[in-house]
Structure 1
Amino acid sequence: MTIRIGLVGTGSIAKRNYIPCLADQQDVSLGYFNRTQSKAEAVAEEFGGEVFDSLEALIDWSPDSVFVLTRETERLAISQDLLSLNPRRLFFEKPLVAAAGQENVSEDDFVAARALLHRAAAQQCETAMIFNYRFFDQPIKAKELIAQREFGRVVNITGLVHYACWSHAIDLLHYFADPIVELSALQSSTVRGQRMAAHDVTAAFRTGQDATGTLIGTSMLDWTFPLLELTFNFEKGRIHIRDLDGDMEILDGHSGRHETYAISRDRSRWDQYDASFGKSILAYLDSLRHGLPPPVPGIAGLQELQVEAAIRRSIALKRPVDLAAELPLEL
């Protein structure tokens, strides 16, 4: 069986983090479309595969899945164009929709993404997300330890996050705990940071299983230091995840031990970052091979945007937001 993967967008992210892994699979054939066709041709020359001069030609090739790897500012329009051609499956980079960039997600982005997934579902087009932070070594290990040591449910969560990791942090919160159902947010009065400049935000929230927490988003974290710090307090333990596979701390309430897990020091966080894409992509390909649901479904991308939309609404209206009542997923 040969799996046909179409790639829409052959920019730097696609070339660095997607195509090498896909091209290395013996049972995968690649087809490319890029609005600047010469870029797609250069990728095909380096990695192999076919270049198509239109989305229609790409879909006529009958790909098993189409990876939407354009800039987030362009993702909605190209995805709508693709759905008009009835693809079998769509696999999205994150965030699902962000017209003004991932550091400035709006409520309109959530509404547009919800309509996009509704349309896909109506056409029986399966959707999936990358959310590769789930596939870093430390989150994988954390999941194992939570199950093995019977830590119980999450009761508290705190997060300090650079906007470069923001959508991933929200997804990890959902992954380790459960979806946020209510939140209240504030933002700084000034725009901060030079890279991904934006207002800082702080959100206090409650999840469906009554865990409470706070999440701070900012561009003011120095890239030399951790860009992501998440702490999950369970009934019988605590886990602190730091950066892109930085040292992870475990406080085991059963044994009373304080443990630290670290990756080998000969690997950088950027090595781990690149590897996480490969693990996420391979997990998705395995789901195609075996006819299983995707490991990260498209709704995960919508749930992440729902939280961002609630933050924007809370800031604008200066009150708490009930996500299900005011910003329903409707899926």
Structure 2
Amino acid sequence: MTGRRTELVRVAVVGAGGWGAQHARIFAGRSDTELVGVLGRSPERTTARAKEYDTTPYTDLGRLLEEAGPDLVSVCLPNEDHFEVTLRLLRAGANLLVEKPLVFDLDEADRLLAAAADSGSFFAINFNHRYAEPFLRARAAIDAGELGRLTFLTWRFGGEANHGRSPHANLIETQCHGFDLLEHLGGPIKSVMAQMGNATYGAFSTVAIALTFTSGAVGTLLGSYDSSYAYPGTQQVEVNGTLGRAVVDDTVRRFTLSRAGEETRTVWEAGYFNDEARSFHATFDRHVAELLAAFREGAPPPVPATAGRRALQLAQAAISSYESGRRVPTPMPSRGD
């Protein structure tokens, strides 16, 4: 896409499931977008979703593209069913925002990126954790040098299982957020070494991965489908440096900044009336606002689909490490990841 857009951006949502409701909510509610259609597999559920947001239901993708004429398509499908629909949309020249994970197979990821390059499509992925207020503050503290040289980073994230066909669903579809955030904060990961457990339902439902960053920092990623999202502290991220430490609790709950040698600390928590900053769903709204600004300017997306390929690349390296019992080097991310 080239050139600046000034009119309403016409958006279609592909997917009528639970998180797809967030896609529809955002694009139906913004003053600078028009939700021109919702596509789903179930006629009944799709009709109900479209009625809820005063738009048109579709069950045929070709008909959606022809009749609704969207400028942007926002895709939210079951995790392991992304590839075929996304490829078809890219080959049709559609501009896309897709949910994570990009796909489960690197060859499929490369085919999608090649199709986007051929069509010149705007191609973004929703790594919305980056837009949580605590992570914005953590990144700002790192950029300002408040932590000094980074020494180690940790990510812990666990909840109930989302059963799927892949034995590595936890790693690929959920801990992709961890790979993305750790590189977003700490720079490229150059090697991984993994342990995995499959105690509960026959898949690798808990993973523990040791990381080395090109900066010289080290890190850990602990991710589980054997836990519960009801637990306090189900997600915690810690970034340590020679001058300070940043800690994020439960994505949007709390940001804590400590300085080396000081027994006091600075804490951010959303105030009484600041519902937006304490809402996990609002991190997606924040991402969409920045994405639409880039889309209107004809600029690259703030979180390009290549970031989804990079998270998958790191996950595949972790799988290779577990299967071989060795540390596995990871290629450097491509420009724009």
**TM-score, scaled relative to structure 2:** 0.83
Q: Which residue does 1:183 correspond to in 2?
A: 192
Cα distance in 2 between the residues matched to 1:86 and 1:155: 44
Query: CA distance change for structure 1 residues 291 and 254 in 2, over 3 Å: closer, same or farther?
Result: farther
> What does residue 179 of structure 2 align with?
170
Cα distance in 1, alignment partners of residues 205 and 194 from structure 2 = 12
RMSD (Å) for aligned C-alpha atoms: 2.8
**Letter in structure 2 aligned against 1:312:** I
Q: CA deviation at 1:268?
A: 8.4
Cα distance in 1, alignment partners of residues 273 and 32 from structure 2: 32
Instruction: Answer yes or no: is the 8 Å Cα contact 2:137–2:255 preserved in 1.
Output: no
Alpha-carbon distance in structure 1 between the residues aligned to 2:276 and 2:239: 21
2:127 counterpart residue number: 131
Distance, in Å, in 1 between the alignment partners of 2:85 and 2:277 is 29
Q: Is the counterpart of residue 206 in structure 1 residue 212 in structure 2? A: yes
Cα displacement (A) at 1:155: 2.5
- Name the SS of the counterpart of 2:233 in structure 1: coil
Tell me how far apart the structure 1 counterparts of residues 91 and 122 of structure 2 sit (CA, whole Å): 14
Say which of 284, 287, 292 aligns to 2:294.
287
Once residues 106 and 277 of structure 2 are traced to their aligned partners in structure 1, the CA distance between those partners, rounded to angstroms, is: 30
Q: Is 1:22 paired with 2:31?
A: no
Deviation of residue 43 (structure 1)?
2.1
1:5 aligns with 2:1: no
Describe how 1:25-44 pairs up with structure 2 within 5 A. Answer: 25-30=30-35, 31-44=37-50
Distance in structure 2 (CA, Å) of the matches to 1:270 and 1:146: 20
SS of the equivalent of 1:73 reads: helix
- Equivalenced residue count is 314
SS of structure 2 residue aligned to 1:319:
coil
Q: Is the 8 A contact 1:114 1:329 kept in 2?
A: no
What displacement does 1:34 show?
1.5
In the superposition, relative to structure 1, how do residues 165 and 79 fare at CA in structure 2: closer, same or farther (>3 Å)?
Answer: closer
- Matched residue, 1:160: 156
Instruction: Say if 1:150 and 1:260 are closer, same or farther in 2 by CA, change over 3 A.
Output: closer
Q: Does residue 73 in structure 1 map to residue 80 in structure 2? A: yes
What TM-score results when the alignment is normalised by the length of structure 1? 0.85
Which residue, out of 137, 151, 162, partners 1:141?
A: 137
Which residue of 292, 316, 320 corresponds with 1:313?
320
Partner of 2:3: none
Q: Which secondary structure state, in structure 1, belongs to the residue aligned with residue 115 of structure 2?
A: helix
State the match for 2:330 in structure 1.
323
Distance 2:245 2:24 in 1: 37
**Deviation per CA, 1:233-269, whole angstroms, max 9, x where unpaired?**
1232211112132222211249774222222368889
Amino acid at match of 1:219: Y
Contact 1:206 1:213 in 2 (8 A): yes
Q: Which stretch shifts more, 109-118 or 315-324?
A: 109-118
Distance 1:80 1:264 in 2: 43
Distance, in Å, in 2 between the alignment partners of 1:255 and 1:121 is: 51
The one-letter code matched in structure 2 to 1:187 is M
Q: Which runs of 5+ in 2 are unaligned?
A: 1-6, 159-169
CA contact (8 A) 1:302 1:329 kept: no
Q: Which residue of 46, 51, 54 maps to 1:48?
A: 54
Q: What is the identity percentage for the equivalent residue pairs of Structure 1 and Structure 2?
A: 25
Cα offset, 1:175, TM superposition: 1.0
Q: How much does 1:316 deviate?
A: 0.9
Q: From the superposition, tell whether residues 322 and 288 of structure 1 become closer, same or farther in structure 2 (CA, over 3 Å).
A: same
Report if aligned partners of 2:189, 2:213 keep a CA contact under 8 Å in 1: yes
Give the Å deviation of 1:290.
Answer: 2.6
Single out whichever of 258-267 and 288-297 deviates more from structure 2.
258-267
Structure 1 unaligned runs (5+)? 99-108
Alignment of 1:57 onto 2:63: yes
- Measure, in 2, the Cα distance between the counterparts of 1:138 and 1:179: 21
1:102 maps to which residue? none
Q: Name the CA shift for 1:269/1:242 in 2 (closer, same or farther; >3 Å).
A: farther
Q: State the AA in 1 paired with 2:196.
A: Q
Q: Tell me what 2:166 maps to.
A: none
1:42-78, Cα deviation, whole Å (9 max, x unpaired): 2222212233442222223432221111111211121
1:296-311 correspondence to structure 2 within 5 Å: 296-311=303-318
Query: Is 1:275 paired with 2:304?
Result: no
